[in-house]
């Protein structure tokens, strides 16, 4: 971790009125954006979902970094005071490189660090489970950083690659999603866990199903809300909270998908206008 978070600033006046930029490979980051909207109702959000390249979980680090840099440039060009990488794959595999690339141009945050830091303040447990994409789990970022702050805890990580595309396709609260969730969570790797970290921002969409699978006996960590709470603390500490009421949230995607608009509307309780843009021409 980099002192908790990366903090970069632009030399501009009235930064508090600038928007908050959030990006992900698809709908997963909307869980974070929704939490930000709930906790910070006066902030303007600019969201970018890279639906043309989802999921990031099976892409090479080079490709993920390339996409992330382009999106970061786009959000900075839109004068975002913060760029929040609402993607665990980005946060766990290419964050150091994106850190350097963003230097001096904006405040840059990820979603992995606040979840790790939250474990220090929570009830101590003996066995922590983590589920995420192949890249996130294979990076070892969660297990490595959890061990730094909780050396005595047992950490069990499981790649669950079907969950993100399942959610992107709208398979939730049905027999298909329940069967896939049950198949993953019944793995011996996760046997006996006290807490489960949802290491993908898509997964809060199915958090209630996961909680029910464990019969409410395992704490299921909502990374989206934790990231939003940390964002609020950063803006408060730097006196960058917006006090305006003229919000003009914008939602950009790199390719149209049937489900993106629907889930965005559910999260924000209104019809969302999507703007398609190709950053890689």
Catalytic residue IDs: 87, 200
Closest CA to 199 of 137, 247, 127, 260: 137
Phi, psi of 263 (to 5 degrees): -70, -30
CB-based contacts of 127, cutoff 8 Å, min separation 6: 153, 154, 155, 156, 192, 193, 194, 195
The number of CA neighbours under 13 Å toward the Cβ of 203 is 27
Phi and psi based region of residue 3 (left: phi greater than 0; alpha: psi -120 to 50; beta: remaining): left
User: In whole angstroms, what is the distance from residue 112 CA to residue 100 CA?
Assistant: 17
Pairing of β 250-253 and β 274-276: parallel
Closest CA to 55 of 163, 158, 143: 163
| DSSP assignment string, 224-253 | HHHHHHHHHHHHHHTT----------EEEE
Structural contact between residues 64 and 135, judged by C-beta atoms closer than 8 angstroms: yes
User: In whole angstroms, what is the distance from residue 279 CA to residue 65 CA?
Assistant: 14
* Paired tokens of 210: 């996961």
E strand or H helix at 157: strand 154-159
């Amino acid at each position: 971790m980099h002192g908790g978070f990366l903090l970069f600033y632009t030399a501009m006046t009235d930064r508090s009125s600038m928007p908050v930029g959030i990006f992900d490979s698809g709908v997963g980051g909307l869980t974070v954006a929704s939490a930000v909207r709930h906790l910070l109702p006066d902030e303007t959000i600019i969201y970018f979902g890279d639906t043309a390249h989802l999921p990031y979980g099976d892409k090479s680090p080079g490709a993920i970094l390339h996409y992330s840099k382009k999106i970061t440039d786009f959000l900075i060009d839109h004068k975002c005071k913060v760029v929040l990488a609402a993607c665990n794959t980005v946060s766990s595999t290419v964050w150091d490189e994106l850190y350097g690339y963003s230097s001096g141009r904006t405040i840059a945050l990820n979603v992995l660090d606040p979840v790790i830091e939250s474990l220090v303040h929570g009830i101590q447990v003996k066995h922590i489970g983590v589920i995420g994409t192949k890249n996130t789990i294979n990076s070892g970022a969660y297990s490595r950083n959890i061990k730094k702050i909780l050396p005595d805890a047992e950490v069990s990580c499981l790649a669950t690659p079907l969950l993100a595309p399942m959610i992107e396709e709208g398979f939730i609260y049905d027999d298909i999603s329940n069967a896939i969730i049950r198949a993953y969570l019944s793995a011996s790797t996760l046997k006996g866990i006290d807490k489960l970290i949802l290491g993908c921002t898509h997964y809060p969409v199915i958090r209630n199903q996961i909680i029910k699978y464990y019969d409410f006996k395992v704490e299921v960590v909502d990374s989206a809300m934790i990231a939003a709470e940390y964002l609020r603390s950063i803006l408060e500490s730097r006196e960058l909270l917006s006090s305006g009421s003229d919000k003009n949230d914008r939602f950009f995607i790199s390719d149209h998908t049937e489900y993106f608009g629907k889930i965005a509307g559910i999260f924000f309780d209104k019809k969302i206008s999507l703007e398609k843009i190709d950053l890689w021409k």
